[in-house]
């Protein structure tokens, strides 16, 4: 049957949780190339979806124009922190994005996607599988010289379910 009913069984469609992809970036020779490549992948991610791009120092006109042309729902933020150690740049940019998410009370699944990496749609499909009884805990552990990201999946305990 074309109506969505087969053999008396109704398929219930669950709404997707907002997927928030955070991309720290900075002005460099291949910045437009990296962002365009990432945008082509993100265009294929089904809604609801929000791309938060955080630039270092100031919003560049080139990045703003590129984001407008993607057709993706986005927010273009700036990290104005004056850094002495360039290795800390990404950490501060991610913190700006997290502060924005908290300030605007955005409820969704957050994923940090660097612009110079390549991503498959399967990753975003897997992120969509996170349900209310699962939590993705990303602990950022900082040291003086590096940052490690640990991803831990925790299955929530549901009373009465064996």
Contact between 72 and 43 under an 8 Å Cβ cutoff? The reply is: yes
Segment among 19-33, 113-127, 148-162 with least mean pLDDT: 148-162
Look at residue 80 and tell me whether its pLDDT is greater than 90.
Answer: no
Pick 40 or 137 by higher pLDDT. 40
Our count of domains for the chain comes to 1
| pTM, to two decimals | 0.73
Interval 92-104: pLDDT, tens = 899 999 999 999 9
Average pLDDT over residues 58-71: 93
Q: Is residue 39 part of a domain?
A: yes
Tell whether 5 is covered by a domain.
no
Average pLDDT for 20-41: 93
Residue 155 lies in a domain: no
Question: What is the span of the domain harbouring residue 82?
Answer: 14-132
Report yes or no on 102 lying in a domain.
yes
* pLDDT band per the 50, 70, 90 thresholds, residue 73: very high
- Give dist(CA 127, CA 129) in Å, integer: 5
pLDDT at 78: 94
For the chain, the average pLDDT equals 78
Q: Is residue 157 situated within a structural domain?
A: no
Question: Which CATH number fits the domain that encloses residue 114?
Answer: 3.90.550.10
Give the chain's end-to-end CA distance (angstroms, integer).
36
> Cα–Cα distances in Å, from 160 out to 15, 77, 97, 118, 130?
26, 45, 38, 42, 21
Residue 159 lies in a domain: no
On whether residue 92 sits in a domain, the answer given is yes
In a domain, 143, yes or no: no
């Amino acid at each position: 049957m074309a109506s969505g009913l087969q053999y008396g069984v109704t398929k219930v469609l669950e709404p997707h949780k907002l997927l928030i992809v955070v991309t720290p970036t900075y002005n460099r020779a291949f910045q437009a190339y990296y962002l365009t490549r990432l945008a082509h992948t993100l265009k294929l991610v089904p809604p609801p979806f929000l791309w938060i791009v955080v630039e270092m120092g100031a919003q560049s006109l080139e990045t703003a124009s590129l984001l407008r042309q993607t057709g993706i729902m986005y927010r273009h933020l700036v990290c104005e922190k004056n850094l002495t150690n360039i290795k800390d740049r990404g950490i501060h940019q991610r913190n700006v994005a997290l502060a924005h998410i908290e300030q605007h009370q955005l409820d969704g699944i957050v994923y940090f996607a660097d612009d110079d990496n390549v991503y498959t749609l399967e990753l975003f499909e897997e992120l969509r599988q996170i349900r209310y009884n699962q939590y993705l805990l990303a602990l950022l552990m900082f040291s003086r010289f590096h940052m490690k990201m640990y991803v831990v999946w925790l299955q929530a305990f549901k009373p009465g379910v064996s």
